[in-house]
Amino acid sequence: MTYDTERDTIMKTLSEDLAFLTTAMEEIRNTNGNTREYRALLKSYGEAAKLHLRLIKEVEAEKENPADALIEFAGQTSIYDEL
């Protein structure tokens, strides 16, 4: 499995998890108000959203500046230095 394939799989899973967490938080908030369970889900949502956004930023950086494996191997600057 290549890094790009693995990253795409992780991004898809995170998107599904974020959708599930959003629905679960709405249901809990509408029925119980601000409970411990809601706060726990909110914390999980925040961590998942941060990772998802970081991966999106990585993909966008690669699209703007396609990596040249030979240049990276030779020790030149990489697009990942800016992330």
**Domains in the chain, number:** 1
The tokens for 54 are: 């970081």
Structural domain span for residue 9: 3-82
The predicted-structure confidence for 4-55, as pLDDT tens digits, reads as follows 899 999 999 999 999 999 999 998 888 877 788 888 999 999 999 999 999 9
Contact 41, 24 (CB under 8 A): yes
How many CB atoms within 10 Å of residue 41? 19
pLDDT in tens, 21-31: 999 999 888 88
pLDDT value of position 65: 73
Structure tokens at 1: 């499995």
pLDDT over 70 (residue 64): yes
